[in-house]
Amino acid sequence: MKLCIVGTGYVGLVAGTCLAEMGNNVICIDKDVEKLKKLEKGIVPIYEPGLEELILENVKKNRLQFSSDLDMAVKNSDVCFIAVGTPQKKDGSADLSAVFEVAQNIAKSMNGYKVIVNKSTVPVGTCDKIAQTVAENTKFDFDIVSNPEFLKQGAAVNDFLKPDRVVIGAKTERAFEVMRSIYASFLRTGNPVIEMDIKSAEMTKYAANAFLAMKISYANEIANICECVGANAEMVRKGMCSDNRIGTKFLFAGLGYGGSCFPKDVKALISVAKNNGYSAELLTATDNINLRQRYIFINKIIKKYNGNLKNKKFALWGLAFKPETNDMREAPAFNIVEELTKQGAKICAYDPKAMDTAKNIIGDKIEYAASAYEALADCDALILATEWNEFRNPDFDKIKSLLKTPVVFDGRNQYSYEELTKKGLEYYCIGKK
């Protein structure tokens, strides 16, 4: 099938590449010509395991093209996907200006019936407005579809090629048939295509992300109570997760969630509720707990040094908001850097993939090391902010020898109190006294 994807951000690039991998002819559209030239050469602005290889392979096989010519792409496509950003406004609501601009441009370029698929995360009712925009700018028949993505950064390629489910919201059988055809090859293992009305599909994306964010905040709330009463948060987690009604995922205590989805989507859903006369108190608490969690951890560091961080230097392992990505949007590392440097501390950081991102955003506010162990030199303590695999089983004897004082602040509860104390390291984590 002939497809065009408007937007080569995280969602658009992964979706376009994976759809090409399944045999479709895909044109990815973006305004940034320089970015498009780099993508054609396999130079990818995001780190996502397996993505670069798939791009190069499908470009070579002429199944994947990159272009700035939206008019050409629409005229040569059966289905047009909208995959542009919906950034957060100051009031927490989603900025939909790019979505409607793309919808208008697609409409003006139509030369026959098209299925227009929205993959951008948008509030309920947006697709109705997209339909109105398209109708005002074309004489041709069309269908609007909501097809939200559920990709996890760091595992997005696998998530797209082997989805748990595909959610499709549409109004006509004609549109459903087209979407079934697109996703048929992805779902031979029996994972479902879930068909529903458009508003329910739009809501599903927000509801899923907000629920996962809530689980993380709940885990952190319980961990903080555990510290107060002398319980072990990890043992409590294991006891909870043995109940199959609860499950094991997204219940780890730590620094909370970050990235481009959970923070933005929780706030957007709060805003949607407010605009419709409802106070979403559980979601508001989820958002507040997430931010507070970072400062609870930071205050552990400040308390250790009796509120005086002048002339203290910390090694910071991890800058990305999660492993297997270079994305630093809403990363806890930002809050750690901001607060500790504000109090006079110095920081030397290392991240396997996010160093260039950090240098562009944080600049010379901190130092950067070429390796995890290099970051430890002349530091008073180690702070773990991101649970990359290479940080999971480090040489603790080496850590102790390189640090000025043997202190570890574990923001992801990766290490064992018993093991580190046996090695002579002073250990602080979350959810334990």
Q: What are phi and psi for residue 335, nearest 5 degrees?
A: -65, -40
Q: For the chain, percent helix, then strand, then coil, each to nearest 5?
A: 45, 15, 40
Q: Which residues pair with 238 in a beta bridge?
A: none
How far is it, in rounded angstroms, from Cα 328 to Cα 284?
23
Q: Per the structure block, which two tokens stand in for 423?
A: 């090695």
DSSP single-letter state for residue 88: B
How is the beta sheet containing 426-428 ordered, strand by strand?
367-368, 346-350, 313-317, 381-384, 407-410, 426-428
Q: Which residues pair with 88 in a beta bridge?
A: 94
Q: Are strands 346-350 and 313-317 parallel, antiparallel or unpaired?
A: parallel
Residue 270 and residue 211 in contact, taking contact as beta carbons nearer than 8 Å: no
How far is it, in rounded angstroms, from Cα 397 to Cα 395?
6
How far is it, in rounded angstroms, from Cα 99 to Cα 94?
11
Catalytic status, residue 261: yes
Q: Which of these, 365, 367, 376, lies nearest to 348 by C-alpha position?
A: 367
- Burial of 111 per CB tally in 10 Å (0-12, 13-18, 19+): exposed
Query: 3-state secondary structure string, 347-360?
Result: EEEECCCCHHHHHH
Residue 240 and residue 250 in contact, taking contact as beta carbons nearer than 8 Å: no
Q: Which of 4, 261, 348, 379 is catalytic?
A: 261
- Which residues carry out catalysis? 261
